[in-house]
């Protein structure tokens, strides 16, 4: 993937080295700070709320009842997020940059407020769905609007900042939820999210460029949307139902639905992903697959607190912070990785990232012990940090590769918004697969922990092969391409 990649009529290949990123102070300076806050804030609130409810629900259930619907809070939220990310392009065409963002923050704020005042579990579940719709739209908009909100030279920095918010959210969500649950004020946690959403929404008209609304109505890819939503629902249900056969069946149904999704998208003019994804010889499909496999590994964070409590006797709050070492590694490393501009170095980082993630999970599996001594628990932190660093090394460069895959504004927005769709789907799939692997351990928590860690390590390692395929494909591109946009 080289800096001299060009665009072919009908679709361009993603180019990993497209821009030379300037210093962080330009992105966070007076001219672009407001846009950076809105873009990153939208992704952050969605990421925080993926895991926020997990810490709050025990307290909420004690007050509202409805324990049998406990796990559906995560399921409904994730499915709603996936639906909204896939409709990002339509909302942009209908409402423009500012209007779409205002709608996203308003929906998220309304859902959060309703969560805060819900008198029963049924309304809380509906409210989580509304909250997920807003969060998914905001996540998709962040990657789609960056093309208009920031100059091309800041895309790498802006993308790194936004995608780092997934890591920050995974770290902050359990911590914030645990803090409010500790004092018995779960409603205040959702109210705080509503305040954050309202504040971010209030500054949108001042900091984002207004775009013209589309003159034609963008059709909804109904079949693709239904199939992908059904797949997300099946895999989310697989993560919460009891019994290995039921979980495996759910994942099998989801895989069949996704296969049908790909077949339909290749033949249809109404697509979720840009047409370049399905063209022969395109590297965009490998870029998306690598992003998905990196996000797949994040699912382990839902289970690490359990392993810490059961195998090492850690208190819940301490176990949660140990698990967040992956997100910390992701966020910190991503900020540094976005400074890399050399063609060869960026290619290597995209391959090295999945290798480090898989190696970290593998080593963590080898370190699991019954009655783990404290000195060994302390070793977990750098190991998990390295695993998260693997995500941070590759994610920003792969994201920019997808964003810069075409000069066509509509296709470019679709390619960028698809990053959030791929991430949400992969986390849902990863959580369900990890749940199946956990059940295979039976009554032995040690066996269950090793199954999850070893299994996810093998799956994430495939990302090194897909990254290599993306690099190799870009080297065989035709020479008659128009130059991709470059920074000043």
> In terms of domains, do 406 and 466 share one?
yes
Instruction: Give a yes or no: residue 359 inside a domain.
Output: yes
Instruction: Give a yes or no: residue 4 inside a domain.
Output: no
> In terms of domains, do 281 and 390 share one?
yes
Cβ contacts of 207-211, under 8 Å, gap ≥ 24: 207/34, 207/35, 207/37, 207/38, 208/34, 208/35, 208/38, 208/97, 208/98, 208/101, 208/145, 208/149, 209/97, 209/148, 209/149, 210/96, 210/97, 210/98, 211/92, 211/96, 211/97, 211/98, 211/148
Domain with 42, as residue range(s), is 17-220
Report the 3 state secondary structure along the chain.
Answer: CCCCCEEECCEECCCCCCCCCCCHHHHCCCCCHHHHHHHHHHHHHHHHHHHHHHHHHHHHHHHHCCHHHCCHHHHHHHHHHHHHHHCHHHHHHHHHHHHHHHHHHHHHHHHHHHHHHCCCHHHHHHHHHHHHHHHHHHHHHHHHHHHHHCCHHHHHHHHHHHHHHHHHHHHHHHHHHHHHHHCCCHHHHHHHHHHHHHHHHHHHHHHCCCCCCCCCCCCCCHHHHHHHHHHHHHHHHHCCCCCHHHHHHHHHHHHHHHHHHHHHHHHCCCCCCCHHHHCCCCCHHHHHHHHHHHHHHHHHHHCHHHHHHHHHCCCHHHHHHHHCHHHHHHHHHHHHHCCCCCHHHHHHHHHHHHHHHHHHHHHHHHCCCCCCCHHHHHHHHHHHHHHHHHHHHHHHHHHHHHHCCCCCHHHHHHHHHHHHHHHHHHHHHHHHHHHHHHHCCCCCHHHHHHHHHHHHHHHHHHHHHHHHHHHHHHHCCCCCCEECCCCC
Instruction: Give a yes or no: residue 469 inside a domain.
Output: yes
Q: How many Å apart are CA 317 and CA 27, to the nearest integer?
A: 35
> In terms of domains, do 213 and 67 share one?
yes
Instruction: Give a yes or no: residue 240 inside a domain.
Output: no
Going by C-alpha positions, the residue among 220, 212, 282 that lies closest to residue 470 is: 282
Instruction: Give a yes or no: residue 226 inside a domain.
Output: no
> In terms of domains, do 80 and 178 share one?
yes
> In terms of domains, do 355 and 275 share one?
yes
Q: How many Å apart are CA 17 and CA 366, to the nearest integer?
A: 36
> In terms of domains, do 310 and 174 share one?
no
Residue at a domain's end among 156, 191, 220: 220
Going by C-alpha positions, the residue among 167, 170, 458, 426 that lies closest to residue 291 is: 426
CATH number at residue 92: 1.20.1250.20
Instruction: Give a yes or no: residue 286 inside a domain.
Output: yes
Residue at a domain's end among 220, 238, 263: 220
> In terms of domains, do 352 and 427 share one?
yes
Instruction: Give a yes or no: residue 141 inside a domain.
Output: yes
> In terms of domains, do 277 and 215 share one?
no
> In terms of domains, do 458 and 362 share one?
yes
pLDDT of residue 214: 53
Residue at a domain's end among 191, 220, 249: 220
Q: What is the pTM of this model?
A: 0.75
Instruction: Give a yes or no: residue 358 inside a domain.
Output: yes
> In terms of domains, do 313 and 453 share one?
yes
pLDDT of residue 217: 60
Residue 119, classified by CB atoms within 10 Å of its CB into exposed (0-12), middle (13-18) or buried (19+), is exposed
Geometric angle at alpha carbon 216, from 215 and 222, rounded to 5°: 145
| Domains identified in the chain, total number | 2
Per-residue pLDDT of the chain (488 residues; tens, 9 = 90+): 543 444 444 444 444 444 444 556 766 667 778 888 888 888 888 888 877 776 677 778 778 887 666 667 777 887 888 888 888 878 888 888 899 999 999 999 999 999 999 998 889 999 999 999 999 999 888 888 887 778 877 777 787 788 778 777 877 887 777 778 767 788 998 999 999 999 999 999 988 887 655 555 667 778 888 888 888 778 767 766 777 788 788 888 988 998 999 899 888 877 778 888 888 778 889 999 999 999 898 888 878 878 888 898 887 667 767 777 888 888 888 878 877 777 788 889 999 999 999 999 999 999 999 988 989 989 999 999 999 999 989 988 888 888 777 777 667 777 777 888 888 788 878 877 887 888 778 788 899 899 999 999 999 999 999 999 988 876 444 333 333 333 33
pLDDT of residue 291: 93
Bridge-based pairing of strands 11-12 and 482-483 is unpaired
| Partners of 483 in beta bridges | 6
Cβ(74)–Cβ(129) below 8 Å: no
Cβ(104)–Cβ(80) below 8 Å: no
> In terms of domains, do 214 and 276 share one?
no
> In terms of domains, do 211 and 278 share one?
no
């Amino acid at each position: 993937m080289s800096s001299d990649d060009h665009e072919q009529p009908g679709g361009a290949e993603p180019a990993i080295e497209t821009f030379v990123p300037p210093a962080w102070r330009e992105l966070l300076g007076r001219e672009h700070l407001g846009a950076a806050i809105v873009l990153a804030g939208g992704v952050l609130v969605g990421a925080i709320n993926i895991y926020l409810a997990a810490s709050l629900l025990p307290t909420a259930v004690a007050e509202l009842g409805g324990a049998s619907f406990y796990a559906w809070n995560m399921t409904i939220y994730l499915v709603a997020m996936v639906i909204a990310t896939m409709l990002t392009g339509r909302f942009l065409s209908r409402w423009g940059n500012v209007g779409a963002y205002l709608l996203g923050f308003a929906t998220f704020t309304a859902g959060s407020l309703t969560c805060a005042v819900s008198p029963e579990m049924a309304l809380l579940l509906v409210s989580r769905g509304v909250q997920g719709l807003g969060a998914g739209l905001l996540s998709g908009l962040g990657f789609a609007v960056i093309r208009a909100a920031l100059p091309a030279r800041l895309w790498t920095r802006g993308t790194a900042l936004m995608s780092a918010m997934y890591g920050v959210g995974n770290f902050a969500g359990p911590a914030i939820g645990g803090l409010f649950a500790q004092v018995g004020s779960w409603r205040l946690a959702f109210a705080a999210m509503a305040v954050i959403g309202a504040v971010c929404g209030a500054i949108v008209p001042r900091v984002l460029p207004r775009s013209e609304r589309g003159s034609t109505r963008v059709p909804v890819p109904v079949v693709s949307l239904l199939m992908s939503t059904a797949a997300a629902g099946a895999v989310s249900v697989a993560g919460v139902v009891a019994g290995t056969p039921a979980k495996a069946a759910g994942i099998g149904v989801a895989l069949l639905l996704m296969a049908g999704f790909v077949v339909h998208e290749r033949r249809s003019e109404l697509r979720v992903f840009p047409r370049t994804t399905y063209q022969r010889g395109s590297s965009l499909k490998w870029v998306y697959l690598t992003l998905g496999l990196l996000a797949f590994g994040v699912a382990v964070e839902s289970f690490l607190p359990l392993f810490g409590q059961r195998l090492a006797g850690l208190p819940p709050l301490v176990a949660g912070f140990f698990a967040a070492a992956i997100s910390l590694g992701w966020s910190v490393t991503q900020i540094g990785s976005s400074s890399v501009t050399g063609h060869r170095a960026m290619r290597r980082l995209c391959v090295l990232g999945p290798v480090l993630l898989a190696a970290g999970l593998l080593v963590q599996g080898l370190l699991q012990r019954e009655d783990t001594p404290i000195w060994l628990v302390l070793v977990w932190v750098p190991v998990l940090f390295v695993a998260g660093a693997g995500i941070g090394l590759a994610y920003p460069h792969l994201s920019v590769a997808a964003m810069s895959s075409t000069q066509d504004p509509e296709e470019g927005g679709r390619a960028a918004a698809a990053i959030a769709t791929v991430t949400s789907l992969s986390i849902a799939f990863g959580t369900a697969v990890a749940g199946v692997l956990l059940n295979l351990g039976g009554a032995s928590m040690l066996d269950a922990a090793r199954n999850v860690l070893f299994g996810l390590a093998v799956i994430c390692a495939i990302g090194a092969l897909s990254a290599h395929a993306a690099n190799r494909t870009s080297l065989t591109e035709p020479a008659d391409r128009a130059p991709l946009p470059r920074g000043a």
